[in-house]
Structure formats: C-alpha cells, structure tokens
C-alpha cells in the first residue's frame, strides 16, 4: 500500500495558512508518517495543480491512497470530482483533509489521524479476506 500526500496552501494568500510553514512541512510529513512522498502546490484547484493531480491519480495503482491536505473536504470533493471521474481513481482512496487554521504540528496530527485510519481499514479488509 502506498500513501501519497498532496498539500495545497491556496497560493499562500489565505489567512488560514498563516501559521503553516509549507517549506518545512513536507520533510516533517515524510519523516514522521509512513507515506511514499509529499508534494506542495500553491493551488491544486488551478490549471497547473489540476495537471499535477491528474498525473498522480491517473498513474496510481490499486494499492494507492492520496491524501489531499487543503481546504474544506466538501470543497475538495466538488473541485476534484471531475478529475476523479476522468482518471478512474476510486473516490474512497482520495482522502480530503482540512489543513486550514493550524500550524505544522496541527497539520501533521490531522494527516497522521487519516493515515492511521487508512491502516486500520486495510487491516480490517485483510482480516475479512483471510476468513
């Protein structure tokens, strides 16, 4: 299983990201969580961000989860619904995480919670499959 983390900072202009250091955050995430990689983009909902997201989703295999750390999960679901459909990436493996309004430690805690949830769900699936 692979977990890829994509982080967006809303062009660095959104006040809800003022306490996050997006220059050091990817290293923290990769050092402390069991993820394949972490990428930061200034605007995943923009043209370039959509292109990156399309590449990640379309090249992912069936063992891949994508954690999208950005704005409200509801907004992400609407913004990326078409990309998920176009790439055929399973929506249940695209995990939107709200990373606004906190610092790096808070973002790390939110991402860690989602990684742990993924691992628990995968363990449960494996247990059911072996019964």
Q: What is the pLDDT of residue 48?
A: 94
- What does the DSSP 8-state code read for residue 18? T
pLDDT band at 112 (very low <50, low <70, confident <90, very high): very high
Lowest mean pLDDT among 5-14, 32-41, 58-67, 83-92: 5-14
The reported pTM is 0.93
Beta partners for residue 6, in sequence order: 39, 68
Alpha carbon distance 42, 63 (integer Å)? 27
- What does the DSSP 8-state code read for residue 98? E
Give me the mean pLDDT over the 18-42 stretch.
Answer: 95
% pLDDT > 70, the chain? 100
Per-residue pLDDT of 48-79, as tens digits, reads 999 999 999 999 999 999 999 999 999 999 99
For 19-33, give one letter per residue: b (16+ CB within 10 A) or e.
Answer: ebebeebbebbeeeb
């Amino acid at each position: 299983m692979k977990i890829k983390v994509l982080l967006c900072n809303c062009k660095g202009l959104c006040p809800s990201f003022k306490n996050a250091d997006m220059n050091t955050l990817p290293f923290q995430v990769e050092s402390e969580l069991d993820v394949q990689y972490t990428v930061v983009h200034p605007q995943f909902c923009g043209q370039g961000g959509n292109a990156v997201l399309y590449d990640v989703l379309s090249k992912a295999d069936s063992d891949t989860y994508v954690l999208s750390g950005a704005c409200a999960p509801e907004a992400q679901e609407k913004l990326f619904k078409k990309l998920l459909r176009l790439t055929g990436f399973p929506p249940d493996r695209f995990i939107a995480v709200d990373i606004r309004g906190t610092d790096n430690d808070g973002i790390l805690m939110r991402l860690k919670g989602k990684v742990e949830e993924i691992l628990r769900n995968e363990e449960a699936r494996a247990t059911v499959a072996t019964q």
